[in-house]
Structure 1
């Protein structure tokens, strides 16, 4: 799964005209969250709005836009009821926007900012159904484009919002609309230590889910010969030494072939002071021993989850363990997103207050 900016840059490099369809805002139940998007071009699509008739209609309108060279954007509200063949009952605002090869330089710059993990907001101003201007708000960089000056406070609020929350803001202004989008790296960085049977089963399930995986093992030939999409493998004589290269928001799974090696890696992770999830494979007895030793050495042993995997699945087969662990990762990821949405609600009120 690639970020839409990565896919768009590749399509524009290959001289495709592309319509990006964005869920600009939602009310009530909807197939996807605000900020979800898909790309539509002459010979295919990338991404999804959740499927169903809404997505079918979005693609149909996007292809109509591709046939209208003078029309660059469109915004429309849909009620997700019987008339649309959907029963969500909510309301969705969709935003269509054309990109051509002329936009490649801008999209490349936006992609670089996002990959560098800078706080960045993409602002698109549309007047009379034509894109008048796009710009990037980057944290710590003074913004001086007159048409967007009044939007600085809204962009800053989006930057300050919790990860995976309040990513998109659709605003109306005289003569047009503005779409603000925080450009997050959508995947969670996950470092997995151990390429044994369980590690291979877990990576096999995760490779198509929203995780950027770095897979570490000390043994030559431990990794499977067939590469998984989006997985970086790293053969290292001292796996614990690689922890220092993980980003501060990285998550970790420790499941090597050796308990002493597991312990050394856990020490390195706790020294790293990551904010992410830390999972350790093992029994409750192993968890108690690690907890006792780490606590005596001054580490926050309670940060480590051991055993790993959701409750209620007791099978010991690698594939069974993998299903339980991946389910736990997805639960944890969603719980953090919900916590972020709760935190962001006060920011939303503040933004609305500023506007009024």
Structure 2
């Protein structure tokens, strides 16, 4: 089954309502908000990396509030244990058996605040649940339910007491973005509302959790022309041969680009993907998956610059994609 134009229009309307609600809290950041909801409706996870005080936590909280589901916040610290996130089995003397007590990961939207402050052992507790939507404890598998999204934040400036996220962990995030400082007009509006603390501003629920699952399933039916998949494959291949790159984009990364391009196309009211969808998402979806050569990093190269150059040098499909 392939999405039809009428369904694309309905999808775009619901998407715009989600974005509009969050824009009342995170001012002047339409592009970042759209990327965040693209990640959610692509059934992926989002990593927000930015300096303190730019609204990372506010954005994550607003996304959780916009979906009428469950949400939890976990403050990652060096002494946090894996069981503090996933849950633990506790012996019940009355019944003579172990009973599993669910951790905060069992929610529709989970905010992992300052994820890089936890030890690698604790970070690794998220690998299974982010990839498969389940937690295995004492040989028993527990499903976390749907929708399920981890929104993680980290501060790239202050590195004392932090642990770099391993490549396997970064690859689980479908997208990485940053918010940045607001423009002048948005800053004035923020200062006008200085009498309200950030946690006091709430977003009215726009969709139910069940509707989010339905929209995510609908996004998977967006048509992708073979020329688009060829284009994505050429982009990914280019990351593996770029002289600045030691480790290129994985197959998971290529699949993520296709999935998010489908969602972005539907969010723009189209039932088919165009090359511009891929171009817009290439940097947030692919850049954090690159491992650069140390000498290139020393010379000032960044993953974002590498992706931008690859997009410029890789020609998009010359023929117009089919719209059937």
TM-score band w.r.t. shorter chain: under 0.3
TM normalised by structure 2 equals 0.22
TM-score, length basis structure 1: 0.20
Larger gyration radius, structure 1 or structure 2: 1
- Greater share of residues in helix: 2
More strand by share: 1
